[in-house]
Amino acid sequence: MKKNYVSNSEESIKLFKSNLFNSLSKVHYTVPLYIFIPAILFFTYGAFSNGISLGDFALYFVGGLIIWTITEYVLHRFVFHYHPTSEFGKKIHFIFHGVHHDYPRDKKRLVMPPAASIPLATLFYVLFSLFLDRQFLFSFFPGFLLGYLFYDMMHYAMHHHNFKHPVLKKIKQHHMLHHYQDASKGYGVSSSLWDIVMKSDFEKQPTKS
């Protein structure tokens, strides 16, 4: 298999001629916390203000977490790893995800910048609002956002921290294989569950007896 270019440098290359656009494409890894933790608290408060029971809140909150894991997989596999044929399409693909594969240790491009995450979150909120009443929406959506935050923080940590816990080490190994062995497999970042379900997981090496 042909090896793609991968830099182990932590440099942050310039994607745009415009300094403004270039700055919008980079973000410190803590920024999503400042944006989405208040949003999670806001929606949680709104759910109980609208009279939801604790049991129903927990059910829809967990449902939001689960739907995030599916969304993460689908976005990564079918959107971020869609390979367009036009030159313009290739440039867009590189900006959104290709740069991360070429420079996987770039600290400023490991979490989604607000210029992308806020519009996407708004889009998903509107989508979910078509199917859920207000109290259920306000229970489901904070679970979805928490799943996203876990994904973003885990993604940063995978590229810059050495885990000691065996479960976390396994999750990191799964993502590192995606980057350094085969980018056509291992699309789950915070979990390998949907790779197993969708048969895009890495082949397990036979154990030596």
Q: Write out pLDDT tens, residues 87-124.
A: 888 888 877 787 888 888 887 878 888 988 999 999 99
For the entire predicted model, the pTM comes to 0.89
d(CA 139, CA 53): 10
pLDDT of residue 149: 96
Q: What does each C-alpha distance from 78 to 5, 73, 111, 114, 184 come to in angstroms?
A: 22, 8, 19, 22, 11
Residue 133 has a pLDDT of 93
By the 8 A CB rule, do 188 and 73 touch?
A: yes
User: Could you give the CA distance from residue 104 to residue 158 in angstroms, rounded to a whole number?
Assistant: 10
CA distance linking residue 177 with residue 156, whole number of Å? 16
> What residue type is 91 in one-letter code?
K
Say yes or no to pLDDT of 206 above 60.
no
Q: Is 64:74 a contact under the CB 8 Å cutoff? A: no
Mean pLDDT of 14-37: 84
Q: Where are the alpha helices (DSSP H) in the chain?
A: 19-24, 31-49, 54-74, 87-93, 99-102, 114-129, 134-160, 166-180, 193-197
131: phi > 0 → left, psi -120 to 50 → alpha, else beta; which?
Answer: alpha
In whole numbers, what is the pLDDT of the chain averaged over residues?
87
- What pLDDT, on a 0 to 100 scale, did the predictor assign at position 143? 97
For the record, the structure tokens of 208 come out as: 């030596």
DSSP class of 96:
I
DSSP letter, residue 202: P
Amino acid sitting at position 154: M
| 9, 93 contact by CB (below 8 A) | no
